[in-house]
A and B are shown apart, each in its own frame.
Chain A
Amino acid sequence: MKTITITYIIMFFFGIYFLLLFLLLHFKNWNKLYDYPPSKRFPTITFLVPAYNEEKSIGNTIKSLLNLTYPKDKKKIIIINDGSKDKTAEIIRGFVKKYKNIKFLDKKNSGKADSLNQALKLVNTELFAVTDADSYPEKEALIKMVGFFEQDEKIAAVTSRVLVKNKNNFIEKYQDLDYNVIAWTRKLLDYVDSVYVTNGPLSIYNTKAAKKLGGFDPKNMTEDIEITWHLLSKGYQTKMSYSAKVYTTVPSRIKQWINQRVRWNLGGLQTIYKYKKYALRENIFGYFVITYVTFSFILALIGIILLARFFWLKFSNYLFLSPYLLQGYNPLLFFKIDFYFTILIIFGLSFLALSIVYYKLALRDSEKRGIFGILIYAFVYRPLYTIPLLMSIYKLIKGEFGWYTK
């Protein structure tokens, strides 16, 4: 058997394994997807909102936090101005004057993780939540999340379902699909105690556990992934409430989108590197989470290489054939494609069929849940992931790390 065929079969094996894992998790737990344990005692909570040049959104974020259904005496808000150059600080001051439960921490720019760490020192409530300054939790989101902490004392973080607020152009609309897929997948991972990201738009943490770990890692580009892995590595559990929705503003332009994904990739790789010693050890974190995330990167990279090889072969064929067009070669024959049923086509079709079922289930609540939307998502949007991944590798090789959010 040819090496390339073996490579494809290995790729399909892992691809089919992960797809089947998610589908089985779904079919075994489909009736529990939206379940959340109701809170009996409503623990005290402080919202931390780091903001850097967020004058357009910060006001609405604060309003949505104020509107959250929760006992008023048990909810506090700390807004951190991370050295904004616009009117962010001015807007925050306006709210601070009006509401007693809002505190303002004005500091020089030092990044999101450091801002959160400085604010964490001021937290004296049982729980604290992190909300991005361009995100808007639904009114009932909080009460659909806090109950999880009462289930098991090992639960140190609960995350929410992030959805897209701005859905106007192509990149925004397909990020909406992307966020739906990510949220659904994350909830399925919850059933095997493997929620490996507590997202920035809305996640709640046990204050004592987070302080014990030293808070957020300022050196990491994705502090939300890092703190989750830190908690998991110490034997804590993380959960997700699929019913708790938070709407976030996503990049509107491809360049912003690429920068954001580069940051996610680099942060993810930093985190894998930091926690590599836990791989294949002790618990689900060591055996599955690290392996799964690492494999996702490796499979994506091999996928890019295979895709590049495929296109190179096609391109070179057309390139070398094209001069014959000028010599009377029939253009219809130029584009002739022969189709023969082979083993790779069997695996490819199996993978495609499973992927369509997977996306169909993941996008049940999405506006573009039709087969056309799914195909565009799978064959146009998802391949765009290649660009930030390659850029991340390039930056990693060059040793370039930066704050790519803005």
Chain B
Amino acid sequence: MVYEIVKLRSKHRIFIETLILTFLILIIGLFLGFYIEYNRTKNIIEDYKSFEIEALNLRLQNYYYQTIELADCDRAIQENLRFADEIYEKGLKIQKYEDVNELTEDLLLEKKKYVLLKTELWLNSILLKQKCKNPFNTISYIYTQNENFAKEAEQSAISNVLGEIKKDKGNDVILLPIAGDLDLSSVNLFLRVYNITYLPSIVINEEIVLEGFHGKEKIVQYLK
């Protein structure tokens, strides 16, 4: 009888062994997943911090160009473009990270800071264009955070088209994707100024407002 029980237990020990092994795989998987996502989030937060410094630098530069008449326009534009490109590239990365983020929390606060940075960049670009006689194009893409299937598809199509335009035009275009519904007063002010009631919309060179999706060719025809 005792032999039977021992034999049975040793035979069925495999269920426990498998359970331990499965837990081990699960723990390793979770640990690896958390590690990857933690690093991504850490990088995003660090990026935001570096953007804040850059933005402050740009703001000061702007004051400088506004107060001193003989300032170097080319250099100012180059700085603006460099920062705009960097912020756009990082923005794409952040958006993708956020879409696939499974474990870590939403980065709403950082996102608000990021939107404000881009709004400031927009403002800076407007001032530079006025001062330096319109040397580049700005495309401000005002999108919504509250996506349903239709909105998601529409916004995905618009951002892909704008991405292609940016790729083709390079330094001739500053692309500024800005979330329009984060309840930020400075962004709301822009929406009122350009009479934007529908999200997503595109503002080209602060002159043309296009609501919803428009093909690449149509957008390009409004560029200088």
Interface residues of A (CB under 8 A from B): 1-2, 5, 9, 12-13, 16-17, 20-21, 24-25, 28, 191-193, 284, 288, 316-317, 319-321, 324, 327-330, 333, 336, 338, 340-344, 346-347, 350
Tally the A-B contacts, defined by beta carbons under 8 Å. 107
Nearest B-chain residue to A312, judged by Cβ: B149
Docked-complex contact B29 and A333, CB < 8 angstroms? no
Chain B residues 199 to 223 lying within 8 A of chain A, measured CB to CB, are 213-218
Residue of B with least CB distance to A343: B33
Q: Is the CB of B157 within 8 A of A340?
A: no
Can you add 17 more A-B contacts, CB < 8 Å, to A17-B18, A336-B160, A347-B29?
A1-B102, A9-B26, A17-B22, A24-B18, A192-B14, A327-B214, A327-B215, A328-B217, A330-B160, A330-B216, A340-B99, A340-B100, A342-B100, A343-B29, A343-B32, A343-B102, A350-B25
The residue on B at minimum CB distance from A8 is: B102
Residue in contact with B14 in the complex, picked from A1, A25, A317, A341, CB distance below 8 Å: A25
Of the listed residues B25, B30, B103, the one surrounded by the most CB atoms of chain A closer than 10 A to its CB is B25
B11 within 8 A of A: yes
Q: State the CA gap A28–B13 with chains docked (Å).
A: 12
Q: How far is the CB of B17 from chain A (nearest CB, A)?
A: 6
Q: Please give the distance in Å from A191's CB to the nearest CB on chain B.
A: 7
Residue B192 is within 8 A (CB to CB) of chain A in the complex? no
Could you say which residues of chain A place their CB within 8 Å of the CB of B30?
Answer: 9, 343
Chain B interface: which size bin? 35 or more
Min C-beta distance of A338 to chain B, whole Å: 6
Q: Interface residues of B: mostly helix, strand, loop or mixed?
A: helix
Q: Which of A5, A17, A344 has the most CB of B within 10 A?
A: A17
Interface centre among B30, B157, B161, B214 (most CB of A within 10 A): B157
Q: Are A28 and B14 in contact (CB under 8 A)?
A: yes
List B residues 85-107 near A (Cβ within 8 Å): 96-97, 99-103
- A320 with B152: CB separation less than 8 A: yes
Whole-angstrom CA separation of A2 from B157 in the bound complex = 26
B75 at the interface (CB under 8 A from A): no
Are B96 and A330 in contact (CB-based, < 8 A)?
no
Nearest chain A residue, comparing its CB with the CB of B214: A327
Q: In whole angstroms, what is the CA distance A193 to B152 when docked?
A: 53
Interface residues of B in 21-60 (CB under 8 A from A): 21-22, 25-26, 29-30, 32-34, 36-37
